[in-house]
Each structure stands twice: as structure tokens, then as C-alpha cells.
């Protein structure tokens, strides 16, 4: 998955940044190839079968589990125990983060990522990703690991885009394998709709330094 500098997918980075600036969110397809999606999905399942996943919580410390708000199971990726594919994914995100810093001056320094699996019927109600006590989260990044996702499978990511007249526009994005979605963590309210099959992703945040 490592790419030499002269082959960086700069066009992908540019279209993500353009999307965030112009629409409030950026999307690129094929951030990961079908083969990469398949191997990361396999590693997710392997780790889940090994009992490494936990029901996700709400808030910084992930202490409160409230399935009426969110029903996904997650596993934070630890660089020390990452598989080569996981490390390569993080390396790619790191390259994107540095590109964003050079072009947008956001001062991003760090990132954190977890696998997420939403079993059928589970969801994540409308929310913002930046918690009161952690303003370091600047950009939310989600990369989907679902082969052959169909519209009828549900599980869309819904964005609530504020309009100048005070109304909201609802945008629905399918969690198509290989697709990467990125938006400002403090600004864009969003929701995960229930699906009829397992919904897999790598979700994370690009963060500034400090507290
Ligand atoms: O999986 C998604 O599409 C979004 C997940 C999300 O909103 C979150 O984990 O905060
Ligand atoms: Fe979120």
C-alpha cells in the first residue's frame, strides 16, 4: 500500500479538500482498492472473532454505552500491534494529513482510528464528532470496507447541511467499499442509518496538538 512520493494521489487529496471547502464534506472513491478493502475487512472479522471488539460508548472516555444512540462495535487501532495492511492504511492517512497541512494550514499533528462494525438494525443517531473536552479533533475521516454495497442495504451516512435560509439539506452517502469521506468534526452534524447487513468501516480523526 505504500506509494512512492511521485505517485501520490494528489488529485484525490485535492478533491477531498475542494469538497470540504465547497460542500462541507469531501468524498473520494477508490481511496482503497477492492483488494485492500477485502483484506482489511478480513482482518476486522478476524479481530472481532478474537474478541477484541467492544460496544462503542458516548463521549471522550467511551464510558457510557447507550445503544439507543449508537449500536456499533469498535476496536481502536494500535500502531504497535497493527498488521502490515493496517499500518499501510495509517501511513496513507498520515500522507494525506501532511498534504492538508501544506495546503490548508490546519496544524494537524496526530490521528486516531478505529474499526467499526454496525450489526444489522443498528445506527448512530444525529451527532457532532467534536466533544466538549476534546477540541483537537479537526477532521473526521471514514473509509468503508463493504464489498458490493447496494442502496437497498441501507446504512447510509446522512449529512445535515445548513442552508443560508436556515433550512437543512439532507445528503445520503452509501458506505461503498474503498470510499473515503472527510468533513470538519466540529461543524457537520451527521447520522448513520440502520442497514440490513453488517456495515464495516475504519473511522478516525485528524487532530491538532495540545488539549
Ligand atoms: O460510519 C459512518 O459513516 C460515520 C460514523 C460516525 O459518525 C462516528 O463514528 O462518529
Ligand atoms: Fe460521527
Question: Is the complex ipTM more than 0.95?
Answer: yes
Does ligand 1 lie within 6 Å of residue 202's CB atom?
no
**Structural domains for the chain:** 33-208 (2.60.120.620)
Pocket test for ligand 1, best of 56, 153, 201 (most atoms within 8 A of CB): 201
Instruction: Report pLDDT digits (tens) over 42-57.
Output: 999 999 999 999 988 7
Instruction: Report pLDDT digits (tens) over 89-125.
Output: 999 999 999 999 998 878 999 999 999 999 999 999 9
Residue nearest to atom 3 of ligand 1 (CA): 157
pTM of the model: 0.92
**190 touches 157 (CB < 8 A):** yes
CA dihedral 150, 69, 130, 82 (to 10 degrees): -60
Per-residue pLDDT averaged across 6-14, rounded? 87
Pocket test for ligand 1, best of 143, 157, 181, 187 (most atoms within 8 A of CB): 157
Instruction: Report pLDDT digits (tens) over 134-185.
Output: 689 999 999 999 999 999 999 999 999 999 999 999 999 999 999 999 999 9
Does ligand 1 lie within 6 Å of residue 190's CB atom?
yes
Assign 67 a pLDDT band (cuts: 50, 70, 90): confident
**H-helix or E-strand spanning residue 90:** helix 84-104
**H-helix or E-strand spanning residue 13:** helix 10-23
Q: What angle do CA 182, 184, 190 make, to 5 degrees?
A: 75
Neighbour-count burial of 18, counting CB atoms closer than 10 A to its CB (0-12 exposed, 13-18 middle, 19+ buried): exposed
**H-helix or E-strand spanning residue 74:** strand 73-76
Amino acid at each position: 500500500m505504500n506509494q512512492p512520493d511521485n505517485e501520490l494521489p494528489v488529485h484525490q487529496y485535492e478533491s477531498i479538500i475542494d469538497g470540504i471547502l465547497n460542500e462541507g464534506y469531501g468524498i473520494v472513491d477508490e481511496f482503497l482498492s477492492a483488494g485492500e478493502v477485502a483484506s482489511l475487512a478480513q482482518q476486522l472479522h478476524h479481530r472481532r472473532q478474537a474478541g477484541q471488539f467492544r460496544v462503542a460508548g458516548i463521549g471522550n472516555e467511551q464510558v457510557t454505552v447507550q445503544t439507543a444512540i449508537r449500536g456499533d462495535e469498535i476496536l481502536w487501532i494500535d500502531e504497535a500491534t497493527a498488521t502490515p495492511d493496517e499500518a499501510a492504511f495509517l501511513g496513507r492517512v498520515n500522507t494525506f494529513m501532511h498534504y492538508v497541512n501544506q495546503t490548508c494550514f490546519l496544524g494537524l499533528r496526530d490521528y486516531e482510528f478505529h474499526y467499526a462494525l454496525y450489526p444489522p438494525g443498528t445506527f448512530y443517531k444525529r451527532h457532532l464528532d467534536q466533544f466538549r473536552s476534546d477540541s483537537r479533533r479537526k477532521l473526521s475521516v471514514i473509509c468503508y470496507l463493504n464489498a458490493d454495497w447496494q442502496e437497498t442495504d441501507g446504512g447510509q451516512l446522512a449529512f445535515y447541511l445548513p442552508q443560508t435560509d436556515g433550512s437543512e439539506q439532507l445528503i445520503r452517502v452509501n458506505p461503498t467499499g474503498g470510499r473515503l469521506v472527510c468533513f470538519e468534526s466540529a461543524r457537520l452534524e451527521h447520522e448513520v442509518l440502520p442497514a440490513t447487513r453488517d456495515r464495516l468501516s475504519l473511522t478516525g480523526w485528524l487532530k491538532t496538538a495540545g488539549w
